[in-house]
Amino acid sequence: MNSQSIINVRYVETDQMGIVHHSNYPVWYEVARTEFIKKVGITYTDMEKLGLTVPLIELQCRYLSPAFYEDELIVEVNLVTATNVKLEFRYKIYRKGEEKPINTGMTMHAIVDHNMKPMNFKKQFPDIYNSFINAIEL
């Protein structure tokens, strides 16, 4: 499964260099992840209500070319690893109509309960676990 989200760059996301500030790209990854999870068949809101939380444990971004206010961007996200304890997503961001990404990245997430304690994802939520496994893009 491959999911694409549209981002319209906001004025607040620019800085005095005249380009988008680098701290916004992880936020856009998160927007894309939210839509990805919805396509998997559950909302992240519902996952949290069930006590299934996926905080970041690692983030990597490469900034290949700048983004500007009012740019329309496409954030492509893939799930590359899903285990009992971890999820790993990969991202590519394109300016609309362009072939080369302007940014690539990855996020690694722990799978924990309400109290940030490790849990047995596969055993406690077999249906959700299987939906994630099936959504892996090799």
Which residues are part of the catalytic machinery? 15
Q: Which residue of 50, 56, 80, 133 would you call a contact of a copy of itself, by CB under 8 A?
A: 56
**Among 70, 40, 59, residue whose Cα is nearest residue 104:** 59
Tokens linked to 63: 């900034």
Does the footprint of a copy of itself cover residue 47 (CB under 8 A)? no
C-alpha 46/C-alpha 34 separation (Å) is 11
Contact region with a copy of itself (CB under 8 A), list: 4-12, 74-82, 83-91, 93-101: 4-12
Contact region with a copy of itself (CB under 8 A), list: 14-22, 78-86, 88-96, 118-126: 14-22
CB of 17 vs a copy of itself, minimal distance in Å: 6
Strand spans (E) along 35-113: 56-63, 72-82, 86-95, 103-110
Name the residue with tokens 């990854």: 29
Q: Strands 3-8 and 72-82: what pairing?
A: antiparallel
Contact region with a copy of itself (CB under 8 A), list: 48-56, 76-84, 85-93, 124-132: 48-56
Closer to a copy of itself by Cβ: residue 12 or 138:
12
Q: Which residue of 2, 22, 120, 126 would you call a contact of a copy of itself, by CB under 8 A?
A: 22
Restricting to residues 76-115, name those near a copy of itself by CB under 8 A: none
Q: Which residue of 39, 41, 50, 59 would you call a contact of a copy of itself, by CB under 8 A?
A: 59
**Among 38, 36, 29, residue whose Cα is nearest residue 7:** 29
Report yes or no: 21 and 67 within 8 Å, Cβ to Cβ.
no
